């Protein structure tokens, strides 16, 4: 990637389908920072990944001048601080606004992403429906978060420009669309969450989003494989 100079040696270990990795890619592209991307085979992890993340042994890992940074939200904050002179700041300068942004990213992680991951591991359709219901409840609350963070403008969580919350939520945009294709519903329904529905379209038109978001058709096929794999595992254990 072409972009801001002075980054030093910057390498991102990732997997194409990981929404967590996509967050980091979005931050790097928005900041205009050059980096080397290394695609990992998560069934045959490289020695570099195992050495860089010996605790969790997973992606993403950002290696800056030989020093590894782990966990997607921590990496995004690191990028914003380490390359403060490149591009717009992702986190607000005001302490209160920064706290609000961090609150909503924690909410996204706990109330939206965590149930979403459990949808794939559900053993029954009833269990899957229960986790999906929690996701819809979280999305309705997040609508208020977008209104709060954007100060009523409804453009981005960062206001007129993309911010930290946008990057964290934006990492999963392709899989939001994939979920809609598979279920026939709308996670960000314009009738119930109009601001988020508009945000979804607006975010997808960003140059950074077009550069790094997964192809939706590929995301659909990948999601179907996850469902099928979980169904086979459940059947084998019964």
Q: What is the pLDDT of residues 118-169, one digit of tens each?
A: 988 888 889 989 999 999 999 999 999 999 999 877 699 999 899 999 999 9
Query: At residue 178, does pLDDT exceed 60?
Result: yes
Tokens (6 digits) for 179: 């979920």
Domain count within the chain: 2
Q: Which of 83, 112, 145 corresponds to the end of one domain?
A: 83
- Residue 64 backbone phi and psi in degrees, to 5: -115, 115
Residue 143 in any domain: the answer is: yes
79 and 104 co-located in one domain: no
How many C-beta atoms lie closer than 10 Å to residue 41's C-beta? 9
Q: Which of 55, 83, 111 corresponds to the end of one domain?
A: 83
- pLDDT of amino acid 157: 95
More confident call, 230 vs 207: 207
Per the CB < 8 A criterion, the answer to whether 13 and 20 are in contact is no
Residue 71 in any domain: the answer is: yes
Share of the chain above pLDDT 90, in %: 82
55 and 153 co-located in one domain: no
* CATH code for the domain of 121: 1.20.1050.10
Residue 235 in any domain: the answer is: no
Residue 90 in any domain: the answer is: no
DSSP string, 160-207: TS--HHHHHHHTTHHHHHHHHHHHSS-SS-TTT-HHHHHHHHHHHTSH
Instruction: Give the three-state DSSP class for 127.
Output: helix
Query: At residue 4, does pLDDT exceed 50?
Result: no
177 and 223 co-located in one domain: yes
- pLDDT of amino acid 8: 79
- Residue 58 backbone phi and psi in degrees, to 5: -140, 175
Q: Using alpha carbons only, what angle is made at residue 163 by residues 160 and 164, rounded to the nearest 5 degrees?
A: 160
> Which residues does 141 contact at the CB level (< 8 Å), separation at least 6?
107, 111
User: Would you give the DSSP letter of residue 112?
Assistant: I
| pLDDT digits 0-9 by tens, 214-228 | 999 999 999 999 888
First to last CA, the chain: 48
Query: At residue 235, does pLDDT exceed 70?
Result: no
| pLDDT digits 0-9 by tens, 34-82 | 999 999 999 999 999 999 999 999 999 999 999 999 999 999 999 999 9
**Domain range for 224:** 95-228
Instruction: Give the three-state DSSP class for 191.
Output: coil
Is residue 30 very low, low, confident or very high in pLDDT (cuts 50, 70, 90)? Answer: very high
Query: At residue 2, does pLDDT exceed 50?
Result: no
59 and 136 co-located in one domain: no
| pLDDT digits 0-9 by tens, 191-203 | 999 999 999 999 9
CA separation for the pair 6, 82 (Å, rounded) = 10
Q: What is the average per-residue pLDDT within 11-33?
A: 98
- pLDDT of amino acid 232: 72
Q: What is the average per-residue pLDDT within 206-218?
A: 98
């Amino acid at each position: 990637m072409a972009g801001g100079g002075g980054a030093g040696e910057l390498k991102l270990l990732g997997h194409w389908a990981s929404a967590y990795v996509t967050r980091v890619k979005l931050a790097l592209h928005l900041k205009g920072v050059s980096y080397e991307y290394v695609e990992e085979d998560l069934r045959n992890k490289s020695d570099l990944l195992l050495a860089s993340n010996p605790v969790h042994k997973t992606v993403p890992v950002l290696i800056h001048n030989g020093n590894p940074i782990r966990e997607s939200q921590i990496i995004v904050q690191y990028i914003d601080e380490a390359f403060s002179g490149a591009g717009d700041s992702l986190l607000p300068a005001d302490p209160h606004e920064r706290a609000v942004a961090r609150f909503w990213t924690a909410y996204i992680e706990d109330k939206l992403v965590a149930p979403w991951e459990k949808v794939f591991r559900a053993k029954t359709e009833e269990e899957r429906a229960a986790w999906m219901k929690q996701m819809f409840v979280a999305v309705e609350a997040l609508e208020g978060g977008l209104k709060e963070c954007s100060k009523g403008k409804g453009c981005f969580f960062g206001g007129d420009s993309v911010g930290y919350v946008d990057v964290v939520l934006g990492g999963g945009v392709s899989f939001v669309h994939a979920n809609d294709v598979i279920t026939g519903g709308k996670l960000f329904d314009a009738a119930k969450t109009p601001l988020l529905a508009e945000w979804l379209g607006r975010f997808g038109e960003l140059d950074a989003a077009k550069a790094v978001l997964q192809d939706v058709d590929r995301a659909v096929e990948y999601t179907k494989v996850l469902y099928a794999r979980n169904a086979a595992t459940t059947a084998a254990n019964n």
